[in-house]
Amino acid sequence: VEKHRWWKESVVYQIYPASFFDTNGDGWGDVPGITKKLDYLKDLGVDIIWVSPIYKSPQADMGYDIADYEDIDPLYGTLADVDHMIKEIKARGMKLMMDLVVNHTSDQHAWFVDSRSSTTSSKRDWYIWKKPKFDADGNRHPPNNWAMLLGEANSAWTWDEKTQEYYLSLFTPEQPDLNWENPAVRSAVHDVLRFWLERGASGFRMDVINLISKVQSYPDAEVVLKSHKYQPGDKFFANGPRLHEYLQEMRKEVLSKYDTITVGEMPFVRDEDEIMRVVGAESGELNMIFAFDLVDIDNVPGDFKLSLHPWNIRDMKKIINRLQRLMVEREGWNSIFCENHDQPRSVSRYCDDSDEWREMGAKLLCLMQTTLAGTLYVYQGEELGMRNVPESWGPEEYKDIESINFWKKSNEMYPSNTEKLSLARKILQRKARDNARTPVQWDSSPHAGFTIATATPWMRVNDDYHSVNAAAQLASSKSSNDLSVHAFWKRGMANRKKHKDVFVYGDFELVDVESEHVFSYRRWNGKESWVVALNFSGENVEWEGLGGLKVQKWVAGNYDESGLGEKPTSGIVELRPWEGLLGICG
């Protein structure tokens, strides 16, 4: 198998279009806004642009509810705007990756409108319809006890009054699940892929792609959350019996005919052999996946995602090591990411986002991500060290359906229970998807330059934009002793490419398994060997983890680099709070 592939070496930048850049003053970012910022992205070192959904959509889940796969939502522009954007992307030697959301459609999609019109509709079987269950008292119940994913206390089934059946809607009632058992559905999906590949897209990020095959008996899930009526059913709807068959068919029918990049978003997958069946070099189902281990690190095990669980750096090392091994030992491939539109900001989550430490933490995470094996994904604003929304914001500032449902349910379940409700607020503040969805902070003008001064952004701009914004970082000192977060990312990405044989393709090994503060590893190939040491704590650490390893020279770090020459190259190394170092071992 050919080891070197363009989609392994590329840096992918994710755009969440609503919050990227607004050109017409309606408060929503748009496609022309993406085109306007292409030079900014090219300059940063981006190769591939992944755009979250821009298709026609009622926006019940911010475009992850698609009403027409072959048209653009007027909020974002027109197909002509997309064609122009593609032309400009290609002119700069970059590529476009579309978001493929085909586990479900919008309830406004023509297929579903037809499907729900009658039990004899020719599209009835395109979705998952089931008869209700009745208990001894004659009360109607959903076919099983699965909980909905974006409104966790509710059922995953939605009742349809007209045809007197339930349909499966794993995310929200506005997102009915497609029935992949039906070959006509699969072939319609293949047509969607072809449509975008022919239009100039170079690949897809595939939304919850491991949910497309469900256990056909639709059994009840085990009761694990006693206080809840509905339970996590992922055992029966994730990584289902026909997943690999469907992915192989997609490869054979469509993908094999083009030179593409594919990444499958795969929640609920722990088993390494299962991952290898998808991303193994021989299997070739998908190029890579988004595994959830690192972003689930602070979830209460077995509980829903909006929960808080303490974690430590040893957990983080274990997770990263496990996923790196799939690449360096088993010829699989994977993605590197700490952020996306579903997760809080990484500097707030894994480091310290106070004014004192924000930049240091953001650079620490950059140093880590630019030196690990895998295809690197950067989320908009991550290159600026953007942080979570302020604690002072009330629940009314949260626009995400998941946050809204969570807050509503918390109030229903615990009315006027201040303790429970302040915990719910804290969970939202730390974990809500809204944290990543505030507009990108371009400069210090009103609304952070995201839209014109007189407009109202669809979501409130983070109050910190006077100090955290792109213009300030681009203007700041270019000396390597005082790099902005942006400049640090730009340099890190360039260094990764320059030494791709080691950082993209090289071997990986933990240098220090034990330390409770420091994550350190070695990357090497036949010619070069590098060491990375990352202090994931706000403390000064007398670090002994180098063991017998001898560093030839420390070459980069997130503190003033003029001091690198004085750092010890063996034995005990003192690491300051959130300090990260990159060294050559020869």
| Catalytic sites, residue numbers | 207, 265
234 scored as a contact of ligand TEU (CB under 6 A): no
Among 208, 261, 279, 573, binds ligand TEU (CB under 6 A): 208
- Of residues 53 and 142, the one with the C-beta less far from ligand TEU: 53
Helical pair 183-199 and 79-91, crossing angle rounded to 10 deg: 60
Task: Considering only residues 181 through 240, tell me which ones interact with Ca ion, judged by CB under 5 A.
Answer: none
Residue 135 CB burial class (10 angstroms; 0-12, 13-18, ≥19): exposed
- State the minimum distance, in angstroms, from the CB of residue 72 to Ca ion: 12
- State the minimum distance, in angstroms, from the CB of residue 88 to ligand TEU: 26
207 scored as a contact of ligand TEU (CB under 6 A): yes
64 scored as a contact of ligand TEU (CB under 6 A): yes
What whole-number distance in Å separates Cα of residue 142 and Cα of residue 122? 24
- Of residues 30 and 207, the one with the C-beta less far from Ca ion: 30
- State the minimum distance, in angstroms, from the CB of residue 305 to ligand TEU: 4
Pick what 109 binds: Ca ion, ligand TEU, none; C-beta below 5 to 8 Å, kind-dependent: none
Selection from 344, 383, 396, 438 nearest residue 18 by Cα: 438
Pick what 402 binds: ligand TEU, Ca ion, none; C-beta below 5 to 8 Å, kind-dependent: ligand TEU
Q: What's the 3-state SS for 437-493? A: CCCCCCCCCHHHHCCCCCCCCCCCCCHHHHCCCHHHHHHCCCCCCCCCHHHHHHHHH
531 residue type, one letter: V
What whole-number distance in Å separates Cα of residue 379 and Cα of residue 436? 9
- State the minimum distance, in angstroms, from the CB of residue 150 to ligand TEU: 6
Question: Where would I find the beta strands (DSSP E) of 191-254?
Answer: 203-206
Among 15, 49, 98, 149, binds ligand TEU (CB under 6 A): 149
Pick what 28 binds: ligand TEU, Ca ion, none; C-beta below 5 to 8 Å, kind-dependent: Ca ion
496 residue type, one letter: R
Those residues whose C-beta lies under 8 Å from the C-beta of residue 327, and which sit 6 or more positions away, are 333, 334, 373, 374, 508
Pick what 503 binds: Ca ion, ligand TEU, none; C-beta below 5 to 8 Å, kind-dependent: none
How many residues sit in the footprint of Ca ion (CB under 5 A)?
5
- State the minimum distance, in angstroms, from the CB of residue 94 to ligand TEU: 22
- Of residues 25 and 241, the one with the C-beta less far from Ca ion: 25
Q: DSSP characters for 138-193?
A: --EE-SS-BBPSSSTTSBSEEEETTTTEEEE-SS-TTSPBB-TTSHHHHHHHHHHH
The three-state secondary structure class of 7 is helix
What whole-number distance in Å separates Cα of residue 61 and Cα of residue 68? 15
Among 17, 20, 30, 521, binds Ca ion (CB under 5 A): 30
267 scored as a contact of ligand TEU (CB under 6 A): yes
- Of residues 268 and 357, the one with the C-beta less far from ligand TEU: 268
Sheet harboring 48-51: ordered strands across? 288-290, 261-265, 203-206, 95-100, 48-51, 11-15, 375-379, 335-336
Pick what 197 binds: ligand TEU, Ca ion, none; C-beta below 5 to 8 Å, kind-dependent: none
- State the minimum distance, in angstroms, from the CB of residue 214 to ligand TEU: 15
Residue with tokens 């239009």: 199
Residue 91 CB burial class (10 angstroms; 0-12, 13-18, ≥19): exposed
First to last CA, the chain: 29
State how far Cα 94 lies from the chain centre: 21
Pick what 207 binds: ligand TEU, Ca ion, none; C-beta below 5 to 8 Å, kind-dependent: ligand TEU
What whole-number distance in Å separates Cα of residue 275 and Cα of residue 289? 8
Among 116, 124, 305, 345, binds ligand TEU (CB under 6 A): 305
- State the minimum distance, in angstroms, from the CB of residue 116 to ligand TEU: 19
Among 47, 61, 107, 512, binds ligand TEU (CB under 6 A): 61
26 scored as a contact of Ca ion (CB under 5 A): yes
18 scored as a contact of ligand TEU (CB under 6 A): no
101 scored as a contact of ligand TEU (CB under 6 A): yes
- Of residues 63 and 583, the one with the C-beta less far from ligand TEU: 63
24 scored as a contact of Ca ion (CB under 5 A): yes
28 scored as a contact of Ca ion (CB under 5 A): yes
Coarse DSSP helix, strand, coil percentages of the chain, rounded to the nearest 5 percent: 35, 15, 50
- Of residues 26 and 274, the one with the C-beta less far from Ca ion: 26
Task: Considering only residues 319 through 348, tell me which ones interact with ligand TEU, judged by CB under 6 A.
Answer: 341-342
Return the range that interacts with Ca ion (CB under 5 A); candidates 14-22, 65-73, 296-304, 404-412.
Answer: 14-22
State how far Cα 87 lies from the chain centre: 26
Among 22, 73, 285, 402, binds ligand TEU (CB under 6 A): 402
DSSP β-ladder status, 573-575 and 541-543: antiparallel
Q: Which residues bind ligand TEU (CB under 6 A)?
A: 61, 64, 101, 149-150, 171, 207-208, 265, 267, 305, 341-342, 402
Q: Which residues bind Ca ion (CB under 5 A)?
A: 22, 24, 26, 28, 30
